Amino acid sequence: MRFDVITLFPELFVPFLGSGVTRRAYSGGQVAVHLWNLRDFADGNYRRVDDRPFGGGPGMVMMAEPLAQCLAAVRAERAEVAPAPAVLFSPIGRRLDHPAVAAWADSSGAVLVCGRYEGIDQRFIDLHIDRQISLGDFVLSGGEIAAMALLDAVARLQPGVLNDQGSHQLDSFNPVLDGLLDCPHYTRPDHWGPPGAERPVPDVLMSGHHKQIEQWRRAQRLALTARHRPDLLVAARAAGRLTPDEDRWVGGLAAADPQDNDAL
């Protein structure tokens, strides 16, 4: 798959694309990322890409013409029969979630437009943007961080990118976990904390009894989801992903501490 990123700051992506486990996806070509500097398509000595908003107000607005020229160059290089969607990261977009990431991970890619300043000229959006995506109800200085978030989420779902092929299947929100939050995780040492108040790893995780461990993890996922993201639990219940026993057990949790819920 191929993602073309239109940005004023392509240098921000260089360390990102070469760092961490997901770099395998980029260096190996599973997720090809092409960076386009918007200023290369601006006119004049100053390569101006923004101007004051009509009607007044604070800030600057990205101009439509440089964006249109850059997008045209991207389209020409991609030379696709069916043009990839042009995506803008925007507060009005659909919030990015696991199903959306999974869909992008199975796609042929997209053109990612990273806005800056107060936004971009609405006429460009109306004529050229196919989809809008939001990371949540907050505002960033630009779309670059949002683009990196999408690229990272997509890259880690590609085969062979993670050390353990099944790692991403046990992530929070994954259908394999019925869309629930993941359980707590522990590693060495088996006792850790301030002197005299060391905290042990839960006994069940040291038992070697795989069935009991999985039961504990399931209980923790249900309890954590009930406490922190009850909306996900409602969705899982509506989809028939909870057993009757689980449904009754979760209903009795109330304000109980998830750490106390060792088993169903």
Q: Out of 23, 53, 118, 184, pick the active-site residue.
A: 118
Active site residue 91: yes
DSSP 174-230: -GGGTTPPPPP---S-SEESSTT--EEPPHHHHS--HHHHHHHHHHHHHHHHHHH-H
Angle, in degrees to the nearest 10, between helices 230-238 and 210-228: 110
Q: Out of 10, 66, 156, 221, pick the active-site residue.
A: 156
Active site residue 258: no
Amino acid at 252: G
Q: Out of 65, 152, 171, 247, pick the active-site residue.
A: 171
Cα angle 177, 181, 185 (rounded to 5 degrees) comes to: 95
Q: Out of 51, 91, 97, 203, pick the active-site residue.
A: 91
Mode of pairing for the β-strands spanning 86-95 and 131-134: parallel
Which residues make beta-bridge pairs with 61? 51
Active site residue 137: no
Active site residue 214: no
Mode of pairing for the β-strands spanning 131-134 and 109-113: unpaired
Of 133, 101, 102, the residue nearest 115 (C-alpha): 133
Answer yes or no: are the C-beta atoms of 67 and 82 closer than 8 Å.
no
**Which residues are identified as catalytic?**
91, 118, 156, 171
